[in-house]
Every structure is written in structure tokens, then in C-alpha cells.
């Protein structure tokens, strides 16, 4: 019986959300996305902005536990799980902090994951077939996605999203929101995302967001995007 209790405790600790949050480590060097995204922007964006979202989320989770809602944290395996349950966070200030910083954390994890300087900027045959079936052609998909990114007012994100049936959609979100927050569900999974906050492009492109969006396609890693689409068992902590 004692062994069973220890085993349950160990499993619970593994499945519980870690309050010491860190952003995903880049799998490439800071200059790998040159000349499309400059080294200085990648460095500041990842080590500054992304790290700040992680630090602020860690502090918010610690405050949430101190406020007596540690059970909510313990019942979530990943950040996205907590984002789908924001209504259960009683304190409005903490709810906003978790929404903004939790969204910022996982949005950026996806952003870095689906970029590469390895030359994977063309989708595979199987991924091309999926995109063609939904959008008509790769060119039509890119145009629709780009137009949403260019026209999104203010700061935010545009995602290519796969639902639980495998259907695709292009959706835009303000600030650091994502479908986990707005749909209160994990049934819609972003598999590609572009950050159109000014900190993503201003050092190189200034106010020319359209130029940034156009060049960004050169560093999209379609191997990763395809993996996220076809592998139903992938980690959802993006």
C-alpha cells in the first residue's frame, strides 16, 4: 500500500505543471535565420521577451498557489491546460497575468519551433496535398495567411490551426491569445504561427510589416509543421 501511495505521488508530480517555467531552448543559433530575421532581433526576442513571459508566468503561478489555488495548478499537466481553465482563476489580476504570459510563452514556443535556417521552406508532398485540398493551392494558402498577418490591427498572432478532425483554418488573435484561451479547449491545435508584434520585426523592417511577413516564409520549417499536423501524439506544450 505504501509503495502504491509513493507511485501515485511520483506520477502526480510528473503530470503536474512545473511552476519554474522556462522558454524552449532554440534548436539553432541566433544568426541561423539571417538574412530574413536578423541576429539581434532573435536574441532580444528570445532571451528578452520570451524569457520575460516565462518569468512572469512563474511568478503568477506562485502567487496563485499562495492565494489558495494550488489544486488548480496541480490538476494541470501543461500551461495550455491552465489556459483552457482561466475562468477558474478567482483573482482577476492573476487571471490576466496568466492569460498574457501563459499565452506569450506557448505562442513563442511554437514560433521558434516552426522556423529554421536549414532550407525546409517548402512543404512535403503530403502536406501540400492537405493544404491544396483546403485552400486550393500553396500560393492561395500563403496569400490568405499573409493577408491576415498584414491586416491584423495592432499586436497579435496568426495561426494555422488543426482541429480534432484534422481540418485546417487560419485564425488571428490579438495580443498573446490563442485558441486554448478563446475556445477554452485543447481541440484546436496551432501548427504554424507568426508573431506580428512590432518587437518581432521592427529592428530590421521598421514599420514595413508586409516585408517581414513576405520574408518570414523563407524560414518556415515545413518539416516541423508537417510533424505537428500528422503526428497526433506530439507534445502539445508549444
Q: Does pLDDT of 106 surpass 60?
A: yes
Give the chain's domains with CATH numbers. 38-238 (3.55.40.20)
Query: Which one has a higher pLDDT value, 232 or 61?
Result: 61
pLDDT at 228: 96
Give the strand pairing for 188-195 and 156-163: antiparallel
- Annotated ligand binding at 50? The verdict is no
Mean pLDDT of the chain: 91
Q: If pLDDT is split at 50, 70 and 90, which confidence band does 120 have?
A: confident
- Annotated ligand binding at 199? The verdict is yes
**Comparing C-alpha atoms, which of 140, 131, 195 is closest to residue 162?**
131
The CA distance from 65 to 48, in Å, is 26
pLDDT at 118: 85
Residue-wise pLDDT for 49-88, tens only, equals: 999 999 999 999 999 999 999 999 999 999 999 999 999 9
Determine the Cα angle at 137 with ends 132 and 138, to 5°: 100
Q: List the helix and strand counts (H, then E) for the chain.
A: 12, 3
- Annotated ligand binding at 31? The verdict is no
Amino acid at each position: 500500500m505504501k509503495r502504491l501511495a509513493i507511485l501515485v505521488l511520483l506520477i502526480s508530480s510528473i503530470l503536474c505543471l512545473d511552476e519554474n517555467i522556462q522558454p524552449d531552448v532554440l534548436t539553432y543559433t541566433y544568426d541561423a535565420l539571417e538574412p530574413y530575421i536578423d541576429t539581434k532581433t532573435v536574441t532580444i526576442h528570445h532571451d528578452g521577451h520570451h524569457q520575460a513571459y516565462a518569468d512572469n508566468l512563474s511568478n503568477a503561478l506562485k502567487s496563485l498557489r499562495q492565494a489558495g489555488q494550488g489544486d488548480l495548478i496541480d490538476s494541470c499537466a501543461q500551461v495550455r491546460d491552465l489556459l483552457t481553465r482561466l475562468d477558474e482563476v478567482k483573482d482577476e489580476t492573476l487571471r490576466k497575468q496568466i492569460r498574457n504570459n501563459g499565452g506569450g510563452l506557448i505562442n513563442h514556443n511554437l514560433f521558434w519551433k516552426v522556423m529554421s535556417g536549414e532550407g525546409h521552406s517548402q512543404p512535403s508532398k503530403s502536406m501540400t496535398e492537405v493544404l491544396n485540398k483546403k485552400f486550393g493551392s500553396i500560393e492561395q494558402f500563403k496569400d490568405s495567411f499573409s493577408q491576415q498577418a498584414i491586416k491584423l490591427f495592432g499586436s497579435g498572432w496568426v495561426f494555422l490551426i488543426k482541429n480534432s478532425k484534422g481540418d485546417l483554418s487560419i485564425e488571428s488573435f490579438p495580443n498573446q491569445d490563442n485558441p486554448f484561451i478563446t475556445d477554452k479547449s485543447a481541440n484546436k491545435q496551432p501548427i504554424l504561427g507568426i508573431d506580428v508584434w512590432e518587437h518581432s520585426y521592427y529592428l530590421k523592417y521598421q514599420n514595413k510589416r508586409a516585408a517581414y511577413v513576405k520574408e518570414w516564409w523563407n524560414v518556415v520549417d515545413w518539416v516541423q509543421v508537417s510533424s505537428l499536423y500528422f503526428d497526433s501524439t506530439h507534445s502539445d506544450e508549444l
